[in-house]
Structure formats: C-alpha cells, structure tokens
C-alpha cells in the first residue's frame, strides 16, 4: 500500500470487497485472496494499492532506501520494484531505471505515469552490463562549469509523450537499425522518460550523457543499486501460472516447430518476450521430454552460458556504479544455485572491495538462508511467496 494510504484502509476494503490481511513481517504490505482482482478498482487506478510479491518487496526493503538516495535499478521492467523504490524515496533523491527491452520499459513508463510516481525517475533503454551514466546530483551539476558550446546546446524541456514528428521519426529509424537485445555500446542510451524533478529538465544532452570515471564513482556513484537480474524465472509462481493459462500444448507445438525448422535464433524471434521463452523451455517438462537429448543439451548449455554470463556482467557493472559505502542487492527469481550462489561466489572472488552483508531484518522473515551464509532464499512453501534469492553487498574503500 502506498505510504499514507493506510488511513483509508476501510474504504479500500469496502471497494474491493475483501479484508486486507496485514503482512506482519513487511511494513506497508497486505495480502489478498488470490481470486480478488484489483486491477479495475479505483484504489488501484489511483495508485493507493498495487500488486507486488512480498518477496520482491523484501528485496527492495533490504536496500534501506531513504529520502535523498540516488538509486539505480539495472533491470527495471516491468517495474513493480521501481514503483516501491519511488514510494520509499519520497520528495528527494532520484531513481534511474534501465532495461534492455524497450517494450517492457515502455510498460513501466505507463505505470509510472498512471500512478504519478515518476517525478524523480528517469528511464533508459540500455544494456545494464555497460550502462555508465552518473546519477544527477545537484552539487555535481553546479560544480561542473558550462562551456559556451554547452550554453547553446539543446536542453531538455518538461517531458511530454507528444514528441515532434521529426524527433519520433529519427528515434524510430535508430531503433530499426538496433536489434531489440543488442544495444550498441557506442550509442547513447535512449531516454524514454524523465520526471519533472529527476534532474534532467534544463540539462544539456552533453551533461546527461556524461559518464563517470572509476575514481568519480567512489564519491559520485549511486547510493543504492538493485540488480534484479534476468533469469529462468523458474521460481516465479505468477510467471508459471501465466503459461498454465496460455496452454502448454499450443505453446509446445509452436516451439517444437521452431526447433524442427532450425534453432535458437528462430525461437528467440517468436512472439514471446525473450525471458518468457526461457521460462517456458526451462519449466515445461513436456517440452523437455519431447526433445531429443541433443536439443535438451543444447538448451542447458545455452542457459548456462547466456544467463551466467549476463548475470555476472550485470552484477559487476552495478557494483562498478555504486559509490563507496553504498548498498547493492542482487536478486533473481530462479531457484537454481547456478544463477544465484555460484554468481555471488564468482563475483566475490574477483572483487576485493565487495563485502557480503548480513540482512538483519531477515531474522523476522519467513525465509531460509541460501547456501552461502548471509544470502536469503524465499520460496512458495517457506514464505508463501514466489521464489526469490537475495544477496546484499557493500563497497569498501580501495
């Protein structure tokens, strides 16, 4: 529930015709019966309540976001955690949301606008493994002197979805040449939304796209970073239920056709979101048993390489952008060790300045320890939530 809306709880209960049960271990959270649909209720449309799994809420609360923080969400879409961060942030600081999938981030933008939550937020379509933009700290802006060239440079005005025709055409053309998943590193990330108090309004493009050197990051980097990495989603109950609703058999036939005619490239072009496809293949026992062992082997090799490498790269880059003394949370909704503890172990091995932190709040939480001490695992049986792995790091001075 949005902070401040608790006083209206009776009205909200009357409207959705359901008693809200307080989740005792997580402030601001209430549970609902699964058959209650809130999406059309006025309270939901007004942004007083929104649906987020309690385990996801716990992962965000581990970051201990407070007003004034500059927060980076490196895999932001569709944006439930981003909304919660903005709620916690209140009237100062900023949230920068990054996602490689434009259509998913556009849905996130719609949500921010609908709930009037985006005032302090900017959204970039970018590859989180290489994203390098600094948070817009007021003092760093006034410190840097403006050249006469910058004075003449185009400045960002108040955000509007009604871009001039020429600008939209230019952006569409640029997108055409850029594959959905491979955002070239030489291009500036595409800014698809910025709020009035996000620090962007009045800024020149040069300043917005100013990257940070590693030295600058230690003092001017982000205070908090969330790396909610892409994974096989095998622990996400909601995700798997979606596939149940879609019908495994139809999906299976379509995927098998693609496998028969060729390969993963073709599969990836299918009308699923790319991570839906991973989940589907990963979770559908029927699919696995109907494939030759060679195909299964190909897929498992693909998953191992694809996810392990991108998860590690996202974690590395998120940590690189964190200031000294800041906090980073790494989470995935996979139940596998390969996508969780193995990544953490590998990352700690290569980063002497990374320190795994105890999550003290978890003493009261219905979750288990991960295989590495100080990490956490939520799962449907223990926590009555979706599966979620959570690890918290801080950055030590070099």
Ligand X SMILES: C[S@@+](CC[C@H](N)C(=O)[O-])C[C@H]1O[C@@H](n2cnc3c(N)ncnc32)[C@H](O)[C@@H]1O
Which residues, in sequence order, are CB contacts of 155 under 8 Å at separation 6+? 202, 203, 204
Helix (H) or strand (E) holding 300: helix 293-320
Q: How far is the CB of 314 from ligand X (least distance, A)?
A: 6
Q: Is the peptide bond before 78 cis (omega within 30 degrees of 0)?
A: yes
Binding-site entries: 99, 127, 228
Q: How far is the CB of 293 from ligand X (least distance, A)?
A: 29
Binding-site entries for S-adenosyl-L-methionine: 99, 127, 228
CA 345 to CA 228: how far, in whole Å?
A: 17
Helices marked H in 224-273 — which ranges?
237-246, 248-261, 264-268
- Phi, psi values for residue 40, rounded to 5°: -100, 0
What's the Cα-to-Cα distance from 194 to each of 109, 119, 211, rounded to whole Å? 9, 7, 18
- Phi, psi values for residue 331, rounded to 5°: -140, 150
Burial of 381 from C-beta contacts in 10 A (0-12 / 13-18 / 19+) = exposed
Side-chain half-sphere of 68: how many Cα atoms within 13 Å?
1
Q: How far is the CB of 104 from ligand X (least distance, A)?
A: 5
**What pairing do the DSSP bridges indicate for beta strands 354-356 and 388-395?**
antiparallel
Q: How far is the CB of 53 from ligand X (least distance, A)?
A: 9
Residues contributing to the site for ligand X (CB under 6 A): 56, 75-81, 98-101, 104, 127-129, 228, 230, 275, 310, 314
Helix (H) or strand (E) holding 85: helix 80-89
333 closest CA partner among 227, 238, 231, 239: 231
Choose the catalytic residue: 75, 121, 333, 367.
Answer: 333
The question of whether 145 is a catalytic residue gets the answer no
Q: How far is the CB of 83 from ligand X (least distance, A)?
A: 8
Residues designated catalytic? 333
């Amino acid at each position: 529930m949005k902070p401040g809306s608790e006083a209206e709880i009776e009205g909200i209960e009357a409207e959705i015709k359901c008693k809200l049960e307080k989740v005792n271990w997580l402030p601001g959270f209430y549970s609902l019966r699964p058959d209650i649909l809130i999406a059309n209720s006025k309270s939901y449309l007004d942004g007083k309540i929104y649906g987020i799994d309690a385990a996801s809420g716990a992962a965000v609360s581990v970051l201990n976001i407070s007003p004034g923080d500059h927060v980076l969400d490196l895999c932001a879409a569709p944006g439930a955690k981003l909304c919660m961060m903005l709620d916690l942030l209140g009237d100062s600081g900023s949230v920068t949301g990054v996602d490689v999938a434009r259509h998913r981030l556009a849905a996130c933008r719609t949500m921010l606008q609908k709930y009037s939550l985006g005032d302090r937020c900017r959204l970039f379509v970018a590859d989180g493994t290489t994203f390098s933009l600094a948070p817009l700290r007021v003092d760093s802006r006034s410190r840097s002197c403006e050249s006469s060239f910058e004075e003449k440079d185009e400045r960002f005005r108040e955000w509007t979805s009604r871009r001039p025709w020429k600008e939209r055409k230019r952006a569409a053309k640029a997108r055409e040449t850029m594959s959905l998943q491979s955002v070239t590193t030489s291009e500036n990330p595409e800014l698809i939304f910025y709020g009035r108090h996000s620090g962007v309004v009045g800024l020149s493009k040069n300043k917005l796209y100013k990257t940070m050197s590693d030295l600058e990051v230690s003092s001017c980097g982000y205070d908090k970073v969330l790396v909610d990495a892409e994974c096989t989603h095998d622990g996400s109950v909601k995700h798997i239920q979606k596939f149940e609703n879609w019908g495994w058999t139809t999906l299976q036939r379509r995927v098998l056709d693609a496998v028969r005619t060729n390969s993963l490239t073709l599969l990836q072009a299918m009308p699923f979101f790319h991570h839906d496809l991973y989940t589907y293949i990963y979770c559908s026992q029927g699919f696995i048993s109907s494939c030759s062992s060679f195909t299964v082997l190909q897929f498992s090799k693909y998953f191992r390489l694809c996810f392990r490498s991108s998860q590690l790269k996202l974690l590395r880059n998120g940590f690189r952008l964190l200031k000294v003394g800041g906090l980073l949370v790494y989470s995935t909704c996979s139940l596998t060790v390969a996508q969780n503890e193995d990544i953490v172990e590998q990352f700690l091995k290569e980063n002497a300045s990374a320190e795994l932190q105890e999550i003290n709040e978890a003493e009261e939480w219905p979750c288990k320890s991960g295989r590495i001490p100080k990490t956490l695992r939520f799962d449907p049986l223990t926590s009555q939530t979706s599966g979620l792995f959570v690890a918290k790091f801080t950055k030590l001075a070099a």
